[in-house]
Structure 1
Amino acid sequence: MEIKLLKKPKNPIIIEGFPGFGLVGTIATEFLIDHLDVELIGKITMDESPAVVAIHEDHVVEPLGIFYNKKYNLVIIHAVTASTGIEWKLSDIIQKLARDLGAKEIISLEGVGSPATKPDAERVFYFSKNVNAKKKLSKIGLNPLKEGIIMGVTGALLLNVEKPALSCIFAETHTDLPDSKAAARVIKVLDQYLGLKVNPDPLLEQAAKFEEKLKGLLKKGEEAKGMADAKKLSYVG
């Protein structure tokens, strides 16, 4: 696994979102890429993944793309591939990227399960060990996540990252299906936290279309992996 960069912005804030509960992180980072002025500056390549790629609307979709917004000095890691089994390696590679760029902060966007007794819950929580981030997120009106189980890349980052500061924004969701409403709540908080002037309303208005797009991309990735696995078995069988 390695990082390939075309340029190296200095001291950015890194925002990452991986497919997780409700696909909140992936939807939120996709929305940021669509609504901020960004350029693709690199990617994360993995020997663990088959040499297959999805094409969407006449463009190659990077499974793990790295995008840059100059105005706000943001590096956005956008993932449309599952991270199961490689969470620790991805955590290490994100930390390496942060060191190489001298990142000021890593922000992780995630969905967290809501109780079955509260199917319409719309809460957003934060978790951070950084005093300044805690104050700022509390001032926005968020409560800290006091109880919960965090898995995947975010879980690995929480266990491993010491520097730079790591802040997590969790939107409550009660579904394994793409949840654009939860992602919109994350965008709203991120907008207040970083002053991005990004309106999440289009995400709500086009939720169905947006969710279908992401489901399609993820399905293509899974189908491609299945085809690659089947081909591999045919060689050894």
Structure 2
Amino acid sequence: MKEMEIEQIKSLDLNDPILIEGLPGVGHIGKLAAEHLIDELDAEKLYEIYSPKLPPQVIVSKEGVAELVNLEVYAVKNDEEGRDILIVVGDHQSVENEGHYEITGQILDIAEEYGVKEIITLGGFATGEIVDEPDIYGAVNEESLVEELEDLGVKFEEGKPGGGIVGASGLLLGLGSRREIPASCLMGETSGYIVDPVGAQSILKILEQILNIEVDMQELEERADEMEDVVSKIRQKKQQAQQQQQQQQPQPTQDDLRYIG
């Protein structure tokens, strides 16, 4: 394989669809949220995207069946008043800068083919701390989107994210702007240490309002309970490190105390 290959699995007529991207990133928040949408909303696969810029490996199923790494595009027909949905997921992102641009360009080509007029990308915002009730931070490629998202509880603060947004979650905003497609990124607070189902739930609660859908969170809640032991161990190790650091700090002498007013 020398070039990107697109395999169309199915074709659907979609009504004013919105594109949701959830590829791997910090805490795997976007990936968890997007895959949960696919499972809970009975999404149908439309495309598989293969690229030599993805990692050179296969994914092996529980049954031992190997499949070449790829990205997938699913569709959800919204029977309620909300819009139809396109969802982009995958187990990996590109390993090369050029590949990020090529793959994002292909995603945008598909979006334009279906008449997508809005994009939402999903990701994590690493804090370095365990967060019990994560906030959701936002970034947009059009200022007009800010107020709408703030009304839903999304925060916009200077310097967050300080290092920008890497990968498809960021490029869909940048390249989407060049194609005049409004786009926003929702980033759930996460420690950055672990796969974070709590952060994924927080993002899904925002998406429920945007997409006018209801999503059963039970599976993510069960995964969050399973992660509680890991979280407890991380907190315990951090407390021990802080205590050791305090013990290693030099204690003030009697002379030093004279200058404390």
Cross-structure match for 2:170? 155
Displacement of 1:135 in angstroms is 2.8
Asked if 1:3 is matched to 2:29, the reply is no
TM-score by length of structure 1 reads 0.77
Distance 1:177 1:192 in 2: 27
Cross-structure match for 2:217? 200
Using the TM superposition, name which of 129-138 and 173-182 deviates more: 129-138
Asked if 1:81 is matched to 2:92, the reply is yes
Contact 2:93/2:100 (8 A) holds in 1: no
Match of 1:167 among 184, 199, 207: 184
Matches within 5 A, 1:109-124: 109-114=122-127, 116=128, 118-120=129-131, 122-124=134-136
Q: Percent identity?
A: 28
Residues 193/29 of structure 1: CA separation in 2 closer, same or farther (3 Å cut): same
Displacement of 1:39 in angstroms is 1.1
Match of 1:12 among 9, 17, 21: 17
Q: Deviations over 1:20-55 (max 9, x none)?
A: 100111111111111112111111121334473432
Displacement of 1:16 in angstroms is 0.6
Displacement of 1:57 in angstroms is 5.8
Aligned alpha-carbon RMSD (Å):
2.5
Q: Which residue identity lines up with residue 67 of structure 1 in the other structure?
A: Y
Cross-structure match for 2:77? 70
5+ residue gaps, structure 2, are 228-261
Question: Could you say which structure has the larger radius of gyration?
Answer: 2
Asked if 1:138 is matched to 2:150, the reply is yes
Asked if 1:185 is matched to 2:205, the reply is no
Residues 129/152 of structure 1: CA separation in 2 closer, same or farther (3 Å cut): closer
Q: Which residue identity lines up with residue 168 of structure 2 in the other structure?
A: V
Aligned residues: 208
TM-score by length of structure 2 reads 0.71
Q: As a proportion of its length, which structure holds more strand?
A: 1
Q: Which residue identity lines up with residue 169 of structure 1 in the other structure?
A: L
Q: Deviations over 1:132-190 (max 9, x none)?
A: 53232111122124322211222222332212211111101112421111111111111
Contact 1:104/1:165 (8 A) holds in 2: yes
Residues 9/107 of structure 1: CA separation in 2 closer, same or farther (3 Å cut): farther
Contact 1:113/1:172 (8 A) holds in 2: yes
Query: Higher relative contact order at CA 8 Å, sep ≥6: structure 1 or structure 2?
Result: 1
Residues 43/9 of structure 1: CA separation in 2 closer, same or farther (3 Å cut): farther
Contact 1:110/1:169 (8 A) holds in 2: yes
5+ residue gaps, structure 1, are 211-237
Cross-structure match for 2:26? 21
Displacement of 1:130 in angstroms is 3.5
